[in-house]
């Protein structure tokens, strides 16, 4: 049976704004949505600086969408006009240079914030039960950001845009059987051309942003369903007070709203300084070659993606024919280690061994070349992040209560990742290639050996309630 419509009755002297809000609430749950998702949402009271990057990511997302809308008003997705339209935006459109630099700097700022946000999750075990789905949604957001940045990278139609896209799309050609056809389908032509620019523009402006917004909404809904983690790794929902709320949690508004506003102010100060004084950031945010029109007849001496792709790009470049023998030895040792140390069933171990044998055969130079395995390791370096909730077997979620030497493991991993990022921006000399190969082994070892090292050592006692000192 349909429920009769009931309208909220307010006194005649009630403020006009309150009356308007009541009228909306009778027809749309605006106040309920606000309270459920933020206004009355209770978060642990011991949040620290690491927990500000989630709200900053939302701020930058809005910034990118708004500046992107203004850029599309003047941009021409045509191979003959794209570069000129960007120059027109920079030189002729009122404040166009500011909008363009805000968008390009915002892309790098987005990845800096997301990497820091993921680092916090790594340090405090924010991906552990019951937050596995939150982490998977976050991982999907990260993939979308990479796709969004890649598609947008071609749009200025500069030298680095053109040749960077050419190199990345050609990587798909290394896939056996379907590779050449897949590369052709992505480009829409036999080379990067007007067809490529048009489809990349469609993905960058319409398709990926729609998926991204949906994933962000799912990420937040999942977060507010199970509750936020905290630096202690304590589940605050397990200790409920008489008011029905966790005793170690406080309302997000106004307590964390004010902190987020302060954090946003500091971020905007730094962001504005970069936009006004160093938008190219020495060639890391905007490369010199991208201020030159795309020329299919002139290849730049050094082609490298933007800095936020370079850690994974270094893994790709490090995969040489000689390095494949090291990978094969490492894979064989890892399978033996699983047989000796893992508690998996015999059937599972046999399956893993069988897959490893097939992979070893495929790694032989007579079967599949190093370029293909470079693409595999390139993709695996990204995808392996999704497995963190099941790789980490530590009794304590937070690094605060893990053995001290675990911090050294995280530090070595962080140094390896940053080193890979730096090497990806440099020319691949023999010495740099060797360092990149060592860092690649460290990167994958961190994850693949995590089920064992994460359980080793003497753990500190995790408190029943969060540790918090008022200030």
**What is the full per-residue pLDDT of the chain (471 aa) written as tens digits?**
556 777 788 887 788 888 888 888 888 888 888 887 777 888 999 999 999 999 999 999 999 999 999 999 999 999 999 999 999 999 999 999 999 999 999 999 999 999 999 999 999 999 999 999 999 999 999 999 999 999 999 999 999 889 888 888 888 887 888 888 888 888 888 888 899 999 999 999 999 999 999 999 999 999 988 989 999 999 988 888 888 888 889 989 888 999 999 999 999 999 999 999 999 998 889 888 888 898 888 888 878 888 999 999 999 999 999 999 999 999 999 999 988 888 888 888 899 889 889 988 988 888 888 888 998 999 999 999 999 999 999 999 999 999 999 999 999 999 999 999 999 998 889 999 999 999 999 999 999 999 999 999 999 999 988 887 765
User: What residues have CB less than 8 Å from 456, skipping those under 6 apart?
Assistant: 403
C-alpha 340/C-alpha 360 separation (Å) is 20
Residue 343: HSE in the Cβ half-sphere, 13 Å Cα cutoff: 3
For residues 409 and 453, the answer to whether their CB atoms sit within 8 Å is: yes
pLDDT of residue 2: 59
Helix (H) or strand (E) holding 108: helix 96-124
Q: Which two tokens stand for residue 452?
A: 């064992």
pLDDT of residue 333: 93
| CATH number for position 327 | 1.20.810.10
Secondary structure tally for the chain: helices H, strands E: 19, 2
Residue 408, domain extent: 306-456
Q: Look-up: residue for tokens 């990118």? A: 64
- Which residues are CB-contacts of 27 (< 8 A; sequence separation ≥ 6)? none
Phi, psi of 331 (to 5 degrees): -65, -40
Whether 379 maps to a domain, the answer reads yes
Backbone φ and ψ for 44, nearest 5 degrees, come out as: -50, 140
In angstroms, the CA 360 to CA 450 distance is 23
pLDDT of residue 471: 59
Tens digit of pLDDT for each residue in 342-370? 888 888 889 988 988 998 898 888 888 88
Q: How far is CA 101 from CA 57, 280, 410, in A?
A: 18, 9, 34
DSSP state of 207: I
Q: Is residue 439 part of a domain?
A: yes
Q: Is 183 part of any domain?
A: no
Q: Is residue 451 part of a domain?
A: yes
Q: Could you give the number of structural domains in the chain?
A: 1
Angstrom CA distances, 7 to 15, 25, 30, 321, stand at 17, 9, 15, 73
- Helix (H) / strand (E) element for 215: namely helix 208-226
How confident is the model at residue 1, as a pLDDT?
56
Any residues with CB less than 8 A from the CB of 246 and at least 6 apart, and which? 42, 44, 227, 236, 237, 239, 240
**Residue 374, domain member (yes or no):** yes
What is the token pair recorded at 156? 């200025």
Tokens of 380: 């695996």
Token pair for 334: 């890892």
Q: Is 312 inside a domain boundary?
A: yes
Which of 36, 60, 467, 49 shows the shortest CA–CA distance to 252?
A: 36
pLDDT score, position 25: 83
Encode pLDDT of 22-47 as tens digits: 888 888 888 888 887 777 888 999 99
**3-class state of residue 396 by DSSP:** coil
Asked if residue 342 lies in contact with residue 349, where contact means CB atoms within 8 angstroms, the answer is yes
Q: What's the burial of 6, exposed, middle or buried (CB within 10 Å: 0-12/13-18/19+)? A: exposed
Cβ contacts of residue 380 below 8 Å, gap of 6+?
Answer: 444
What are the contacts of 360-368 at 24+ separation with CB within 8 A? 360/328, 360/331, 360/332, 363/324, 363/327, 363/328, 363/331, 365/321, 365/324, 368/176
Q: Tell me the CA distances in angstroms from 144 to 122, 137, 148, 208, 263, one per residue in order.
A: 20, 11, 6, 7, 25
Residue 198 pLDDT = 93
Beta-ladder partners of 250: 43
Q: Is 324 among the domain residues?
A: yes
Closest CA to 312 of 440, 434, 464: 440
Q: What is the pLDDT of residue 382?
A: 95
pLDDT at 140: 97
Q: What is the DSSP-derived secondary structure letter of residue 246? A: B
Residue 90 lies in a domain: no
CA dist., res. 204 & res. 72, Å (int): 11
Q: Around Cβ 336, how many Cβ atoms within 10 Å? A: 12
- The greatest distance separating any two alpha carbons of the chain, rounded to the nearest whole angstrom, comes to 86
């Amino acid at each position: 049976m349909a429920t009769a419509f009931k309208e909220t009755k307010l006194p005649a002297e009630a403020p006009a704004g309150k009356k308007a809000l009541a009228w909306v609430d009778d027809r749309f749950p605006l106040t309920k949505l606000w309270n459920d998702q933020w206004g009355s949402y209770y978060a642990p009271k011991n949040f620290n600086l690491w927990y500000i990057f989630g709200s900053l990511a939302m701020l930058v997302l809005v910034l990118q969408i708004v500046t992107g809308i203004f850029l599309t008003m003047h941009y021409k997705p045509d191979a003959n006009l794209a570069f000129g339209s960007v120059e027109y935006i920079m030189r002729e459109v009122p404040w166009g240079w500011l909008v363009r630099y805000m968008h390009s700097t915002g892309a790098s700022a987005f990845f800096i914030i997301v990497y820091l946000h993921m680092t916090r999750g790594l340090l405090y075990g924010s991906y552990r039960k019951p937050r596995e789905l939150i982490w998977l949604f976050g991982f999907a957001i990260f993939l979308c950001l990479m796709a969004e940045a890649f598609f947008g990278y071609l749009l200025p139609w500069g030298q680095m845009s053109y040749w960077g896209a050419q190199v990345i799309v050609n990587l798909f050609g290394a896939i056996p059987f379907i590779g050449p056809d897949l590369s052709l389908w992505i480009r829409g032509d036999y080379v990067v051309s007007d067809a490529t620019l048009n489809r990349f523009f469609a993905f960058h402006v319409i398709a990926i942003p729609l998926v991204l917004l949906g994933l962000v909404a799912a990420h937040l809904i999942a977060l507010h369903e199970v509750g936020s983690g905290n630096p202690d790794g304590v589940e605050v929902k397990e200790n409920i007070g008489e008011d029905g709320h966790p005793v170690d949690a406080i309302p997000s508004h106004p307590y964390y709203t004010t902190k987020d506003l302060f954090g946003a102010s500091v971020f905007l100060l730094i962001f504005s300084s970069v936009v006004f004084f160093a938008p190219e950031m020495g060639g890391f945010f905007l490369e010199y070659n991208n201020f030159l029109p795309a020329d299919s007849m002139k290849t730049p001496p050094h082609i490298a993606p933007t800095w936020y792709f370079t850690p994974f790009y270094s893994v790709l470049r490090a995969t040489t024919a000689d390095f494949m023998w090291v990978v094969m030895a490492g894979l064989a040792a890892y399978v033996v280690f699983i047989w000796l140390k893992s508690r998996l069933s015999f059937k599972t171990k046999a399956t893993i061994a069988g897959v490893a044998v097939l992979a070893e055969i495929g790694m032989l130079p007579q079967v599949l070349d190093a370029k293909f395995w470079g693409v595999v390791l390139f993709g695996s370096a990204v995808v392996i992040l999704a497995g963190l909730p099941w790789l980490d077997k530590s009794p304590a979620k937070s690094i605060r209560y893990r053995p001290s030497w675990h911090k050294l493991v995280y530090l070595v991993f962080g140094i390896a990742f940053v080193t890979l990022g730096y090497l990806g921006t440099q020319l691949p000399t023999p010495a740099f290639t060797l360092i990149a190969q060592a860092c690649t082994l460290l990167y994958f070892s961190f994850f693949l050996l995590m089920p064992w090292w994460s359980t080793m050592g003497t753990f500190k006692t995790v408190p029943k309630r969060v540790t918090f000192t008022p200030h």
